[in-house]
Structure 1
Amino acid sequence: MLTALSIRDVVLIEALDLDFSEGLGVLTGETGAGKSILLDALGLALGGRGDSGLVRHGAEQAVVTASFVPPAADGVLAERLNDNGIVQEPGEPLMIRRVVKADGGSRAFVNDQPASAGLLRDLAQYLVEIHGQHDERGLLNARGHRALLDTYGRIDGRAVAGAWRSWQAAEQALAEARARQAEAERDREWLEHAVGELNTLAPVEGEEAELAERRAAMQRGEKIAGDLQGIADLLEGSDGGLARLRQAARILERVSDDHPALTEALAAIDRAIIEGVSAQERVDEAAEALAFDPAQLEADEERLFALRGLARKHQVQPDALPALTEDLTRRLAELEGGEGALDILQQAAETAHADYRAQAEALHKARVTAAERLDTAVAAELKPLKLDAARFRTTIETLPEEQWTASGSDRVAFEISTNPGAPFAPLIKIASGGELSRFILALKVALAEKGGARTLIFDEIDRGVGGAVASAIGERLARLASDNQVLVVTHSPQVAARGRRHLLIAKSNDGVVTRTGVTPLDADARREEIARMLSGAEITDEARAQAERLLEPA
């Protein structure tokens, strides 16, 4: 709900601060007083074009600030604010400010945070609906008619939305499987060759490192085999060191008793023999460990080179070859069994599609029923508003399948025919001016809309009518204002008398500057203004008496 509007230096308005309340508010004034300026100023705050011509002559900039009741924390408006990084403190009003410079350019702020004019327009659809001869938002926008009809008919579209999601998921799974199948078909020959080659080699994880280590050991053994044999010959040969030491020991054993030194010599030679035997055993052990089979070395080298070559071919590490074998084998198996899997996915998609179609058809029937009720309700509102020659209808068109959505398969549009025999067409192409506003009012009253913008502004809805029709307009505006904030610019005393709050728009001139001002009227001033609207330039006692009768509670 709009709670306040502050205007600075907009056309003829120098400085103006207005407070607004719930219910029906009326704005009156003589022709040319500047009522349109007030709406243009509000339009700026709602993202309208920032024309420098709106800046008051002599001023550097025009500033408009609109204050609204803060949005519900769980509402769509709060979600839009959060999406755009706008902070809305609990309990604080939502403040929208627009600045237009005289030399061109404009700036916008939401809660003192910089914003774009596009964001203001986005927020405006949840805050205010302005209905006039040049407005194309609100009920005139056919894109919102389906949601309005669903709200009117209390139609729950969750089953259709769920069926839509299931259908789309099934179609996506089928499309992905078909893409994989087509790719696999293109690679069938390569897959068969690659899998056969990998299975023939049968790589094992860690095998490459083991082969490389064993090959290196055999190559080292091959290199020192002659040296090891030479060492063995020096130690164990018939003329080797150990044989000579044993021969010397045998001689010493015979003469060692002849002198203590010979005994010590014998002990030393015995120790040498023991160490020599130990050395020989170590050499034999090493020779056995480093022993190689030329055939085995050749076989290991061939397999090692085969593993490394296949890894380079597939651009993976040798240890990744087993996993690659499994992956390519799986792809080949999927290809060979793909038709069966595709059949299953195709059946699932067809089932989901049929379910969606059934849910959408049920939703369509509910909409048709709601449309009939709405058409009857709107028709009942047209005659009292002097639109008895007009006809209203809600068209429901089944869209092509490629245009179906989570909201169903229907396109909904409100259409009218203003004269007998005239074809039906969208509201904005048929009606204009006050006639258009009266159609909007009839629709609004029939819909009794609870969602969307809660502030409704009607610009000269009573243009070209009077008497009973004006009274009917006033009665319906008051009824609409019981659940919404309604502001109406009017020339009709019958409409003005229905207002809960009355604002008078008037021009003044001090001989130098012309200004437009707005004055809230008390009961006496209000009676005088309605009397002026009834009688014209000269207010008569009879007009005052008639104004008093209009102001009497219904």
Structure 2
Amino acid sequence: MLLNLNIIDLAVVKSLDLDLEQGMSVLTGETGAGKSILLTALGLALGDRADSGYVRPNCKRAEINLEFDLSDAPQAHEWLKENDLDDGQACLIRRIVSEDGRSRAYVNNRPVTLQSLQELSEKLVEIHGQHAHLTLLHAEEQRRLLDAFAKSQPLLDNLNDCCRQWQQAHRELASLKKAAADRTEREELLKYQIEELKQLDLANFNYPALLEEHSKRAHLEQILSTGQRQIDLLYENDQQSLLRMLNHSVGELNSIARFAPELTEICSLLSEAQIQIEEASLQLRRFLEAQEADPERMETLENQIGVIQNLSRKHHIAPEELPQWLEKLEDELDGISHSGERIEALETATKTLLTEYRQLAGQLSEKRKEAAGKLEHQISSMIKELGMPQGEFLVTVSPLPGEEPKPYGTDKIEFLVSANPGLPAKPLAKVASGGELSRISLAIQVTTSSDKTTPTMIFDEVDSGIGGGIAEIVGQKLRSLSRNRQVMCVTHLPQVASQAHHHLYVEKNHKTDITSSNVRKLNGEERVEEIARMLGGVHITANTLAHAKEMLFHSASGS
């Protein structure tokens, strides 16, 4: 159960630290006092999307902290262990929203993703919004509620997995069969292209080396003439070679080095330069002597480069990518060559998966039909208590048209209601008024929640459109739901509020420039006054106070 809710700088809440208890708690207050922001805080802490609008003005960030006792949440405890987030019987959830809209989430002081937070939250808290009666009109919601009541989620997961595998195999099979129509033409083209590429000897392919050799041979005359001139300049010219002039310089400096020893190192450096120039000249001569014009090799290179460039343009790739392109074409050809075997395997797989799917769908249909009978009986009984004495609630499970597998099975689920005897049952949207729909929605929520394991349940004004004696019954139902779990309810109805074990009051504070809201737990006298306010509005009389006391007395004595 939820032990503590702590909020810092979230919208109209500057600071709030609220301890919560087992049983039924109601949250009341004047319209606009800030009741909704508490549910917003819970939603954010449990994984709702965040944005900068949640941060209180002039603040850097908003923070929400939740503390849970896991003694009544074994599924959540197990999830924490599986995800290495376990910290005994306690669970701390923290959500921080920055002024730029970014958010961070922590479980037991360790960072988690939003998806992980949502997975954990589903095992801790269940929130029923004030617009639940509107979503009840959607076929998807009706199917979800029936499946939740039937506890068919494991079967649904298996069915969904089978459906996904069938869809994947079916798509691949359809693609291969479509491709088979022009497979022969494509196969011939691939064979031709592969043979064309193989003529390049791509196993020893080195396009940059070919370009380098071609460039060298194309400039061979310039290489030979320039190289010979440099040999003459460096070494072979008897009168003006660099080596001859360097020899003269070394001799002259050596003659004066005996008078200036500091010149000895300079002479050594120049002597080393003599050796380097002579060695470089000899290497350059050997290089030039090794060069030989080869018109045939030049023609071969030009042909090779021309073929490579033509093929790269043809396939719209760089020349260096031709070896990888050949591998891709060979893989495609191999796939086409073996596509017949793959088609046969996929046809077998789709038939097997379809058979498995139909078996699972049949089991799910039976489970739904069995649960439908129980659900319609329980809800029919409850809506009679909620002011529809002639009301009958029906759940139909009928086959959907079409043979193709669907993730949710082969059934059409529809909720029907007959408000008056003798009239045929019709879909909710066509029969129920706003008030009737609210009662039916509440009956469904209470019925489908009664045997769930979620330790904390929150109802946000789900009693809207209800009043009088019916509201008292609604309060009793919510109170009975809290016998083995924690129930929190936001309400405007005194009949519901008086049924709670604990009463929380939301009030606004206008003492500062920025409005803030606060929540406090009401004691006995304060609770009487709040119930009286809800009963009588602005002017509270002695009779109103007496009525409030009586309501609280009867709810306490009836528990």
**TM superposition score normalised by structure 2:** 0.57
CA distance in 2 between partners of 1:522 and 1:179 (Å) = 75
Over 3 Å counting, the alpha-carbon distance change for 1:196 and 1:148 in structure 2 is same
Q: Secondary structure at the match of 2:159?
A: helix
Residue 150 (structure 1) aligns with: 147
Residue 488 (structure 1) aligns with: 489
Question: What does 1:462-541 correspond to in 2, within 5 Å?
Answer: 463-467=465-469, 469-505=470-506, 517-527=518-528, 529-530=530-531, 536-539=540-543
The answer to whether the 8 Å contact 2:23/2:479 transfers is: yes
Question: What does 1:421-460 correspond to in 2, within 5 Å?
Answer: 424-425=426-427, 432=434, 436-447=437-448, 448=450, 450=452, 454-459=456-461
Measured against aligned partners, the alpha-carbon deviations of 1:122-142 in whole angstroms (never above 9, x if no partner) come to 99877452432x468986765
CA distance in 1 between partners of 2:352 and 2:554 (Å) = 68
Shift of 1:480: 1.9
Question: What does 1:245-324 correspond to in 2, within 5 Å?
Answer: none
Which amino acid counterpart does residue 18 of structure 1 have in structure 2? L
CA distance in 2 between partners of 1:383 and 1:528 (Å) = 32
Shift of 1:341: 6.6
Gaps of 5+ in 2: 205-305, 313-321
The answer to whether the 8 Å contact 1:34/1:516 transfers is: no
CA distance in 1 between partners of 2:5 and 2:430 (Å) = 30
Over 3 Å counting, the alpha-carbon distance change for 1:64 and 1:192 in structure 2 is closer
Which amino acid counterpart does residue 519 of structure 1 have in structure 2? R
Over 3 Å counting, the alpha-carbon distance change for 1:136 and 1:151 in structure 2 is closer
Shift of 1:477: 0.2
Shift of 1:106: 5.4
Measured against aligned partners, the alpha-carbon deviations of 1:176-212 in whole angstroms (never above 9, x if no partner) come to 64366445322354578899999xx9x9x99xxxxxx
Residue 27 (structure 1) aligns with: 27
Q: Establish whether residue 408 from structure 1 lines up as the match of residue 403 from structure 2.
A: no
Residue 292 (structure 2) aligns with: none
The answer to whether the 8 Å contact 2:455/2:486 transfers is: no
CA distance in 2 between partners of 1:505 and 1:37 (Å) = 6
Q: 2:34 aligns with which of 28, 35, 38?
A: 38
Shift of 1:384: 0.8
Gaps of 5+ in 1: 207-308
CA distance in 2 between partners of 1:51 and 1:182 (Å) = 53
Over 3 Å counting, the alpha-carbon distance change for 1:194 and 1:136 in structure 2 is same
The answer to whether the 8 Å contact 1:404/1:410 transfers is: no
Shift of 1:68: 2.9
Which amino acid counterpart does residue 550 of structure 1 have in structure 2? S
Over 3 Å counting, the alpha-carbon distance change for 1:383 and 1:429 in structure 2 is closer
Residue 243 (structure 1) aligns with: none
Q: Secondary structure at the match of 1:499?
A: coil
Q: Secondary structure at the match of 1:376?
A: helix
Shift of 1:552: 1.7
The answer to whether the 8 Å contact 2:187/2:336 transfers is: no
Aligned residues: 440
Over 3 Å counting, the alpha-carbon distance change for 1:361 and 1:188 in structure 2 is same
Residue 110 (structure 1) aligns with: 105
The answer to whether the 8 Å contact 1:27/1:504 transfers is: yes
Question: What does 1:57-96 correspond to in 2, within 5 Å?
Answer: 60=58, 65-69=63-67, 91-96=90-95
Report which stretch shifted further, 154-163 or 61-70: 61-70
Which amino acid counterpart does residue 166 of structure 2 have in structure 1? W
Which amino acid counterpart does residue 541 of structure 2 have in structure 1? A
Over 3 Å counting, the alpha-carbon distance change for 1:343 and 1:50 in structure 2 is closer
The answer to whether the 8 Å contact 1:139/1:440 transfers is: yes
Residue 131 (structure 1) aligns with: 129
Q: Secondary structure at the match of 2:452?
A: coil
Shift of 1:484: 3.9
Residue 229 (structure 1) aligns with: none
Residue 552 (structure 1) aligns with: 557
The answer to whether the 8 Å contact 1:462/1:473 transfers is: no
The answer to whether the 8 Å contact 2:414/2:427 transfers is: no
Shift of 1:475: 1.9
Residue 160 (structure 1) aligns with: 159
CA distance in 2 between partners of 1:493 and 1:329 (Å) = 74
The answer to whether the 8 Å contact 1:466/1:492 transfers is: no
Shift of 1:505: 4.1
The answer to whether the 8 Å contact 2:187/2:333 transfers is: no
Measured against aligned partners, the alpha-carbon deviations of 1:461-510 in whole angstroms (never above 9, x if no partner) come to 1654223x233212210122234432223454443332121123456888
Q: Secondary structure at the match of 2:460?
A: strand
Report which stretch shifted further, 510-519 or 489-498: 510-519
Report which stretch shifted further, 495-504 or 508-517: 508-517
Q: Secondary structure at the match of 2:365?
A: helix
CA distance in 2 between partners of 1:174 and 1:530 (Å) = 67
Q: Secondary structure at the match of 2:483?
A: coil
**TM superposition score normalised by structure 1:** 0.57
Which amino acid counterpart does residue 131 of structure 1 have in structure 2? G
Over 3 Å counting, the alpha-carbon distance change for 1:354 and 1:157 in structure 2 is same
Over 3 Å counting, the alpha-carbon distance change for 1:477 and 1:53 in structure 2 is same
Shift of 1:360: 1.6
Shift of 1:402: 8.4
Over 3 Å counting, the alpha-carbon distance change for 1:508 and 1:168 in structure 2 is closer
CA distance in 2 between partners of 1:164 and 1:16 (Å) = 48
CA distance in 2 between partners of 1:520 and 1:338 (Å) = 72
The answer to whether the 8 Å contact 1:375/1:394 transfers is: yes
Q: Secondary structure at the match of 1:548?
A: helix
Q: Secondary structure at the match of 2:541?
A: coil
* Paired-residue identity, %: 26
CA distance in 2 between partners of 1:170 and 1:481 (Å) = 48
Shift of 1:396: 4.2
CA distance in 1 between partners of 2:460 and 2:52 (Å) = 26
Which amino acid counterpart does residue 148 of structure 2 have in structure 1? T
Residue 239 (structure 1) aligns with: none
